[in-house]
Amino acid sequence: MSHTASHANGEIIRDFLSVADLLEEPRLAQLYANLARQGPATVQELMAALDLPQGTAYTYVKRLADAGVIEATGDKQPRTYVAHPIDLTVSAGDGTREYTITPMLVDAVSRQSTNDDIETYIARHGVDGLATALTYTVARERGEVTHRLMARDLDISPLAAEIILQALRPVVHDHIDIEKSGAVGPDLGPDDEQTAETSDDT
C-alpha cells in the first residue's frame, strides 16, 4: 500500500479510509503496530501480548483484515496474521503540509494510550504534528539535530521539544537500526524550563 494522496482516485480514497481508523483508535493501532514490529502472530498471541479480551482481539483482527492492512497467511488453524506495509502520503488539515502514514507513525499514535506525553502532543499538534516530531526524532537519534533546533523550527519551547523527542525515541529504535554512536543525548539547559514557562504552551 504505497500511494500519494494527491492522486485523487478511488484506490487512494480506499487506502486512506483503511488506515484512518488506525490514527483515531490507539488500541486498534496497537494491534497493527505489534504485527508490523514483531512479525506474524495468531489472535491468541496478540491477546497475550496486548492484554486484549478475546472478543476485542477477534473484532480488531477482522476490522484490519477487512481494511486490507493485515491478512492471514494460510488456512491452517490457528490462523497466523501478518501486517502489510503502509506508505500513504496525505495533506495536513490546513493543506500547506504533507505527511506520510507509515507503520512507525501508526506505532507512535498507538502509544498515546500508555504515554501521556505523546497523547498531549497529539492533542495540541495533531497526527501531522506527531509525524513531524517523529522525523525530528529520527534525525536527533542520528546526531543530525538537537532539541533546540527542533524547537526553533516548529516554534515550540525547547522543553516541549525534548519531552516529545524522548517519548518518541523508543518508537524510532523499534523500527530503525540507528548506530548508537551517532545519537545526540538530551542537552537541556537552565533556560529550558524558563522558556517552557513563558511559552504559549504549544
Q: What is the DSSP string of 21-80?
A: HHHH-HHHHHHHHHHHHH--EEHHHHHHHHT--HHHHHHHHHHHHHHTSEEE--SSSSPE
pLDDT recorded at residue 87: 76
pLDDT recorded at residue 88: 78
Contact in structure between 147 and 133 (CB atoms under 8 Å): no
Among 143-152, 158-167, 187-196, whose mean pLDDT is lowest? 187-196
pLDDT recorded at residue 77: 86
The average pLDDT across 184-196 equals 44
pLDDT recorded at residue 191: 47
Hey, CA dihedral for 83, 66, 58, 51, is it positive or negative?
positive
**In this structure, what C-alpha cell is assigned to residue 154?**
516548529
| pTM for the predicted model, two decimal places | 0.74
Q: How far apart are CA 165 and CA 147, in angstroms?
A: 7
Q: Could you tell me how many residues make up the chain?
A: 202
- In this predicted structure, the answer to whether residue 190 has a pLDDT above a threshold of 80 is no
The average pLDDT across 61-79 equals 88
Q: pLDDT tens-digit profile of 106-142? A: 999 999 989 999 999 999 999 989 999 999 999 999 9
Sheet holding 2-4, edge to edge: 2-4, 87-91, 98-101
Q: Which residue has the cell 529520527?
A: 138
What CA–CA distances, in Å, run from 40 to 1, 22, 44, 84? 18, 19, 12, 11
Cβ count within 10 A of residue 5: 16
**In this structure, what C-alpha cell is assigned to residue 25?**
483508535
pLDDT recorded at residue 164: 98
Class of domain 2-85: mainly alpha
Cβ count within 10 A of residue 72: 15
Q: Please tell me what DSSP assigns to residue 185.
A: -
The full set of domain ranges for the chain reads: 2-85, 115-191
